[in-house]
């Protein structure tokens, strides 16, 4: 399914249609069509962000229209002409438009004309020099070489992996060591790189590792949820390198090789006993590497970066907080279980599968891409409940008007034994509200049997068990055991066998 929201978001960031098509795994004409429809109906990304996928699709394409047929240029001819001196792609496009006009055919716009030519060049394995724009692109990868850290307790050598980020325009690089190449380290490397550069590039080009990219084929690109979330937080677009196409991220590949020479090789005889020591040394050598003069042109990476940093997107106020995504089913008690804690969900979603975003401080719940609720994250003992009144069904909300103290105050009018039974009921459930029904039923027994008998029945119930139930109190009242003299009660109770019938039951005498 076409991700219309992502197309509008990338367009709002200034990403061109070709790059947006690559990121969203669709064709460029699809991107153009979506943007044209959005423009025609006056739909902005800020409005689309508030809609569900179904609503957005209906908004954009209320009526299906037949697609116009365009004449495909002869790119074999175009490629031959491009080899001639003075011939430009724009000149060939103008000639193509004139020919289409004469034949009463529809011609592609120059951007689409250029895109199809670029596809043709890639298919024929032709190459052309890429000119990078300042602040446009950041490439990232893991270095293949590791650095060993000595465990101070066991003497074991622990390998540290090097994260490398580079800006193609200036060649300015960032290097940091981590103990693994897992997603938390991968994203932390990006966050620290943006902080080091003091800004964000419009495009982020990573390698195709699982920590960032779930799928990258000719037809589709699927970015990992947490990685995509980080990109949206910083206002950048993820356009991963093609599989087995190292030249798509040639700058970072070169930076990895140079970092291996100028950083790893230089510190090869050093001994490190912590990750902090290693990164402190890497930072020192990185400054030397970035200030090293170019061999074939004037200046250094640092001097070029001073020009490039003015084109970077400013950093957001807060650094990105890594999140974890899980799925859960809304239970019949309108709660989900997450990390051994329970969080309420609007009761309308009972039985539905929802996506749960977990951070250090928050639990956010999404259904069909829309956030339906959030809770502060619970810590401490397991199986705690976070319940919001607005999530309850209407009949459950009546219980919110009641509290444990209100039931205790009501029970105090009958006696201390009735209060004691109410306290037992309130402590029987993880959620206090679940006991309110039993509390009300117990106290309403006074309407049928009188307050004095209810108090006596509660006192009698404690002679049988330390945790009486509503059923046991009802049985005592129905059978009249609360009316028996205390002397009879003593003979009718056996500590070993529980209930025992006294002589009065059989009509006899003591």
Q: Which residue has the higher pLDDT, 144 or 89?
A: 89
DSSP 200: B
Contact 463, 487 (CB under 8 A): no
Paired tokens of 315: 């950093």
Whether residue 276 is found in the same domain as residue 371? no
Whether residue 339 is found in the same domain as residue 373? yes
Threshold 0.85, pTM exceeds: no
Q: Which residue has the higher pLDDT, 496 or 458?
A: 458
The C-alpha atoms of residue 501 and residue 225 are separated, in whole angstroms, by 68
Whether residue 50 is found in the same domain as residue 80? no
Paired tokens of 94: 């103008």
The number of angstroms, rounded, from the C-alpha of 246 to the middle of its chain's C-alpha atoms is 29
The C-alpha atoms of residue 304 and residue 128 are separated, in whole angstroms, by 23
Whether residue 36 is found in the same domain as residue 163? no
**CA R_g for the chain:** 36
Give the pairing of strands 137-150 and 157-166: antiparallel
pLDDT computed for residue 201 by the predictor: 92
Run of H or E including 418: helix 416-426
The C-alpha atoms of residue 504 and residue 510 are separated, in whole angstroms, by 8
Strand partners, 374: 364
Taking residues 216-238, what's their average pLDDT?
83
The C-alpha atoms of residue 67 and residue 251 are separated, in whole angstroms, by 40
pLDDT computed for residue 452 by the predictor: 92
Contact 135, 312 (CB under 8 A): yes
pLDDT in tens, 331-370: 988 899 998 899 999 999 999 999 998 888 889 999 988 9
Counted residue by residue, the chain has a size of 510
Taking residues 9-14, what's their average pLDDT?
86
Binned at pLDDT 50, 70 and 90, residue 495 comes out as very low
In a domain, 96, yes or no: yes
Whether residue 215 is found in the same domain as residue 287? yes
Binned at pLDDT 50, 70 and 90, residue 509 comes out as low
Taking residues 172-188, what's their average pLDDT?
89
Domain range for 160 is 137-311
Q: Inform me whether the pLDDT recorded for 140 exceeds 90.
A: no
DSSP 3-state assignment of 287? helix
Q: Which residue has the higher pLDDT, 12 or 506?
A: 12
In a domain, 338, yes or no: yes
Whether residue 415 is found in the same domain as residue 464? yes
In a domain, 65, yes or no: no
Whether residue 111 is found in the same domain as residue 149? no
Whether residue 24 is found in the same domain as residue 97? no
Whether residue 300 is found in the same domain as residue 184? yes
Run of H or E including 440: helix 436-443
The C-alpha atoms of residue 470 and residue 434 are separated, in whole angstroms, by 14
Buried b (16+ CB within 10 A) or exposed e, 399-426: beeeebeebeebbeebbebbbbbbebbb
pLDDT in tens, 389-445: 788 887 666 555 677 888 999 999 999 999 999 999 988 877 777 788 889 899 999
pLDDT in tens, 16-68: 888 888 888 888 888 898 888 888 888 888 888 888 878 888 888 765 445 67
Taking residues 240-254, what's their average pLDDT?
62
How much of the chain exceeds pLDDT 70, in percent? Answer: 85
In a domain, 317, yes or no: no
pLDDT computed for residue 363 by the predictor: 92
In a domain, 113, yes or no: yes
pLDDT computed for residue 206 by the predictor: 86
Backbone angles phi, psi at 398, to 5 degrees: -65, -30
Backbone angles phi, psi at 213, to 5 degrees: -120, 120
Domain boundary among 362, 396, 430: 396
Q: What is the mean pLDDT of the chain?
A: 82
Paired tokens of 51: 């809609």
The C-alpha atoms of residue 237 and residue 500 are separated, in whole angstroms, by 78
pLDDT computed for residue 505 by the predictor: 57
In a domain, 238, yes or no: yes
Domain boundary among 247, 281, 311: 311
Can you give the CATH number for the domain in which 142 is found? 3.30.420.10
The C-alpha atoms of residue 414 and residue 423 are separated, in whole angstroms, by 14
pLDDT computed for residue 86 by the predictor: 60
Whether residue 147 is found in the same domain as residue 259? yes
Q: Which residue has the higher pLDDT, 12 or 268?
A: 12
Binned at pLDDT 50, 70 and 90, residue 196 comes out as very high
Paired tokens of 462: 């404690």
Dihedral sign for Cα atoms in the order 263, 266, 267, 268: positive
Least reliable range by pLDDT among 84-88, 222-226, 263-267: 84-88
In a domain, 259, yes or no: yes
Domain boundary among 283, 311, 339: 311
Closest C-alpha among 72, 82, 160, 84 to residue 108: 72
Binned at pLDDT 50, 70 and 90, residue 259 comes out as low
In a domain, 132, yes or no: no
What dihedral do alpha carbons 272, 322, 201, 27 form, nearest 10°?
Answer: 130
Q: Which residue has the higher pLDDT, 274 or 145?
A: 274
Whether residue 304 is found in the same domain as residue 268? yes
pLDDT computed for residue 200 by the predictor: 93
The C-alpha atoms of residue 254 and residue 355 are separated, in whole angstroms, by 40
DSSP 434: G
Largest alpha-carbon pair distance within the chain?
128
Angle, alpha carbons 368-369-373 (nearest 5°): 95
Q: Inform me whether the pLDDT recorded for 382 exceeds 60.
A: yes
Can you give the CATH number for the domain in which 343 is found? 2.40.50
pLDDT computed for residue 11 by the predictor: 87
Paired tokens of 37: 């429809």
Whether residue 287 is found in the same domain as residue 142? yes
- How many domains in the chain? 5
Residues 6+ apart with CB under 8 A from 345: 330, 334, 335, 336, 354, 365, 372, 373, 391
Contact 344, 373 (CB under 8 A): yes
């Amino acid at each position: 399914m076409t991700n219309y929201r992502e197309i509008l978001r990338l367009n709002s960031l200034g990403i061109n249609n070709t790059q947006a098509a690559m990121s969203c795994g669709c064709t460029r004409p699809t991107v153009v069509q979506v943007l044209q429809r959005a423009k025609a109906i006056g739909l902005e990304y800020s409005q689309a962000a508030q809609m569900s996928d179904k609503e957005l699709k209906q908004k954009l394409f209320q009526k299906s229209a037949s697609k116009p047929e365009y004449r495909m240029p002869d790119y074999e001819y175009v490629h031959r002409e491009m080899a001639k001196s003075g011939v430009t792609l724009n000149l060939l496009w103008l000639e193509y438009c004139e020919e289409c006009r004469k034949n009463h055919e529809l011609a592609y716009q120059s951007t689409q004309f250029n895109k199809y030519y670029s596809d043709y060049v890639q298919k024929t394995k032709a190459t052309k020099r890429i000119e990078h724009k300042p602040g446009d692109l950041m490439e990232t990868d893991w270095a293949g070489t590791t650095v060993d850290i000595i465990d101070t307790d066991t003497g074991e050598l622990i390998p540290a992996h090097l994260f490398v980020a580079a800006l193609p325009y200036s060649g300015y690089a960032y290097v940091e060591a981590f103990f693994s190449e897992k997603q938390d380290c991968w994203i932390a490397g990006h966050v620290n790189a943006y902080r080091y550069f003091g800004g964000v590039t419009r495009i982020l080009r990573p390698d195709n590792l699982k920590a960032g990219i779930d799928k990258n084929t000719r037809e589709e690109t699927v970015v990992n949820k947490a990685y995509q979330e980080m990109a949206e937080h910083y206002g950048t677009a993820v356009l991963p390198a093609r599989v087995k196409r190292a030249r798509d991220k040639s700058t970072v590949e070169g930076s990895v090789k140079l970092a291996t020479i100028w950083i790893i090789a230089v510190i090869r005889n050093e001994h490190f006993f912590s990750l902090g020591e290693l990164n402190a040394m890497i930072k020192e050598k990185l400054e030397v590497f970035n200030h090293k003069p170019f061999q074939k042109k004037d200046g250094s990476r640092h001097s070029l970066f001073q020009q490039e940093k003015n084109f970077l997107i400013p950093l957001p106020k807060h650094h990105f907080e890594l999140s974890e995504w899980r799925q859960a089913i809304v239970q019949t008690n309108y709660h989900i279980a997450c990390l051994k804690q329970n969080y309420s969900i609007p009761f309308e979603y009972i039985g539905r599968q929802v996506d749960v975003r977990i951070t250090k401080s928050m639990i956010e719940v999404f259904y069909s891409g829309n956030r339906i609720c959030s809770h502060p994250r619970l810590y401490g003992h397991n199986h705690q409940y976070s319940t919001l009144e607005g999530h309850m069904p209407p009949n459950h909300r009546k219980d919110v008007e009641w509290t444990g103290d209100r039931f205790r105050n009501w029970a105090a009018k009958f006696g201390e034994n009735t209060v004691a039974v109410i306290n037992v009921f309130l402590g029987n459930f993880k959620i206090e509200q679940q006991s309110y029904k039993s509390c009300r039923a117990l106290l309403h027994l006074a309407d049928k049997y009188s307050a004095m008998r209810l108090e006596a029945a509660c006192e009698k119930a404690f002679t049988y068990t330390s945790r009486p139930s509503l059923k046991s109190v009802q049985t005592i009242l129905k059978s009249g055991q609360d009316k028996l003299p205390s002397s009879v009660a003593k003979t009718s109770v056996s500590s070993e066998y529980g209930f025992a019938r006294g002589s009065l039951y059989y009509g006899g005498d003591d």
